[in-house]
Each structure stands twice: as C-alpha cells, then as structure tokens.
C-alpha cells in the first residue's frame, strides 16, 4: 500500500502508520528516561515515521519526582527535522483522581495552545485536536476558536478525538475538521458507523489503540503482569483470563495469517484497518525499537477483501469485553 496518506481536507501527507507517543511518559508504567525517550522518537523518524501524536495532558512522574512532559520529549526529538514531520497535539483534558476532567472553554483553549507551542518548541501546530468533547461547551464555540487560531497562524488544521456524528457535523459546519481521532481496532469497531460521514466530509480517521492496547500484538498472555496504578492495562478486561479465552480464536487466526504472509499478528491487525479504508491512519504506541520497526512494517502487508471479510466474520461473532467498549448483548 502507499507509503503516505493524505490527512483529510489538508495539504498534509503522513506516513500510513504514525507514532502515538503517549507511552513514553504516561499510562504505560514509569516514564521512559528523558534522553532514551528522545532518542527513540528520533529513531522512529529515521525509520520513516513522519506523523507524531502527543497531548498536553500526557504527563508522568519520573523516578526523581520531576515531571515528564510528553510534548517536550516530542519537540526536542524532532526539532532539527521540524519541516519534515507532522506533529499533532491535543487540548481540553486533565487527568485527576476523579478521572478525566474536560474544559474546552475559549479561555482554556487559548491558554492551552500557548503552552503547547512552548513545550513543543514550534511556531505552529500542524494538527490540534479537541481531546474530548466537553458537554459544557457547544461544538460551534470550539470550532470558532479553531477558526481564529488558524487565522492567527498558531495551528494549521484541527480535529476532534472521541467524537460522534452529530458533534462532528456541527463543528465542521463552522470550521472544516481535518481528522477525528477515535479508538479503533479489531476489538473496538463501534466507530465504523462513521465511515460514510468521514467520506462525505473528507475527514481522516486517526485510530488510537489500534492494537487493542497491545492485546492484538500477541505478545501477552494470561500470566502477563502490569504495574497497578501506573499501567492502564492492569485494569483492562481484555487482559483477564476471560479476556484471553474470548480472544483465543481471533489470535489463532491472526497467527495463521501472519505465518502465511511472513508477518506478525500485530502487523496483520494494523494492515486490516489500513486495507479497509485509505483514510485510516493507525497510531500505535511503543517504546521499543523492534516494535517501532514492526509497526511501520505493517504498511507492506496486504490483505485481500476476502481475508478482511474472514476476519470481520469472526469479529462479528465475538463477545469480548474490552476497555472503552461494552460487550455485545
């Protein structure tokens, strides 16, 4: 398949697989040591990645008590290749002991964009997402701020993460939306109903957690342990004994296909969505060099319509509870 994909209605061309950078400082255990994180993000660029995803709220605590700001890591790693990469970041979410707090008020957005510009060390953000819909703020208000930021040259394009059709349409009517970033994988397919809308509006689908938070990589089993409190996978239902049992048939199918194509289960999982639609761009995250190479290598794996149908037929029959999606009734 093509090395690059056009990002919705923009003039940006991005690698068909992007890099989700969150795990270097947030949600997947202790943050990676700064110099190592910067080195690995830069290595990803050297491997061929040109699309990097971060957010203002991706913050972790280092072993010495200092804070690890994901945007700073991304900005430092890519500073000398700035004109060769597309950087996406997000606003409007704060992690707290009460869960996710959303704030997309115009005042907060303007404070957020200035902070992100400084941490990233850039003059303009390529793609700026509303991280989560804020029920207190109408989409037209958010879109109007985005229109102003584009005119001011602070951002080039904007997107919405975890949106539905109604919100997307209302926002897009005020300021065209370039991309949505929703959860999408073989284990989380509820947003496939948005495909016709995305095609109508010429909006890209950037897929986060495309490997089901690592489950579809085939690298884990029911004995795998994750650090409680700092690694989100420690509480994800797919990583329970029942989850592995429910996904066993799927993993066997992926393993068989991988063997036939001299690929890995993870590569089959990523190729599955990229071969479905030309505007889907998965952004798997990894902190390991071999996984980075494996993930971007999935662009060379081609699945036929028949092979995709075989996978979809099995997925339709599965009843597997996963993080971010309820089990089928």
Of the pLDDT bands very low, low, confident and very high (cuts 50, 70, 90), residue 326 is: very low
String of b and e for 184-199 (b: at least 16 CB within 10 Å)? bbbbbeebeebeebbe
Percent of the chain with pLDDT over 70: 88
Q: Which pLDDT value is given to residue 327? A: 43
pLDDT for res 306: 97
Listing DSSP states for 163-213 in one string gives: --HHHHHHHHHHS---EEEEE-BTTB-GGGGGHHHHHHHT-EEEEESTTTT
CB 282 within 8 A of CB 296: no
Q: Say if residue 224's pLDDT is above 70.
A: no
Over pLDDT 90: what percentage of the chain? 74
Instruction: Give the residue numbers marked as catalytic.
Output: 58
Q: Is the pLDDT of residue 229 over 60?
A: no
Task: Give kind and range of the element (H or E) at residue 59.
Answer: strand 59-61
The answer to whether 252 and 310 have CB atoms below 8 angstroms apart is no
Q: How far is CA 276 from the centre of its chain?
A: 17
When mean pLDDT is compared across 137-141, 233-237, 245-249, 281-285, the lowest value belongs to 233-237
Instruction: For residues 327 and 324, give the distance between their C-alpha atoms in angstroms, rounded to a whole number.
Output: 10
pLDDT tens digits along 26-50: 766 678 899 999 999 999 999 999 9
């Amino acid at each position: 398949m093509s090395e690059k994909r056009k990002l919705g209605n923009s003039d940006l061309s991005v690698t068909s697989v992007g890099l989700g950078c969150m795990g270097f400082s947030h949600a997947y255990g202790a943050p990676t040591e700064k110099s190592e994180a910067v080195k690995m993000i830069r290595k990803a660029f050297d491997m061929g990645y040109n699309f990097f995803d971060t957010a203002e709220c991706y913050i972790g605590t280092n072993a010495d008590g200092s804070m690890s700001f994901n945007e700073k890591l991304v900005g430092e790693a890519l500073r000398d290749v700035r004109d060769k990469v597309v950087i996406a970041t997000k606003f409007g979410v704060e992690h707290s002991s009460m869960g996710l707090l959303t704030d997309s008020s115009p005042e907060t957005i303007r404070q957020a964009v200035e902070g992100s510009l400084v941490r990233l060390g850039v003059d303009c953000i390529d793609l700026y997402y509303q991280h989560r819909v804020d029920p207190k703020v109408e989409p037209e208000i958010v879109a109007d701020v985005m229109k102003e930021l584009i005119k001011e040259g602070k951002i080039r394009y904007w997107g919405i993460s975890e949106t539905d059709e109604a919100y997307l349409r209302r926002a897009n009517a005020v300021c065209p939306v370039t991309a949505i970033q929703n959860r999408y994988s073989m284990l989380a397919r509820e947003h496939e109903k948005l495909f016709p809308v995305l095609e109508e509006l010429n909006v890209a689908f950037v897929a986060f957690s495309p490997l089901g938070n690592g489950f579809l990589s085939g690298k884990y089993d029911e004995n795998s342990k994750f650090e409680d409190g700092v690694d989100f996978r420690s509480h994800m239902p797919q990583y329970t004994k029942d989850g592995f049992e429910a996904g066993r048939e799927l993993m066997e199918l992926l393993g068989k296909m991988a063997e036939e194509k001299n690929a890995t289960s993870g590569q089959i999982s990523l190729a599955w969505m990229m071969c479905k639609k030309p505007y889907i761009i998965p952004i798997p995250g990894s902190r390991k060099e071999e996984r980075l190479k494996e993930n971007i290598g999935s662009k060379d794996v081609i699945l036929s319509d028949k092979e995709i149908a075989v996978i979809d037929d099995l997925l339709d029959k599965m009843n597997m509870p996963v993080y971010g999606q309820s089990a089928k009734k």
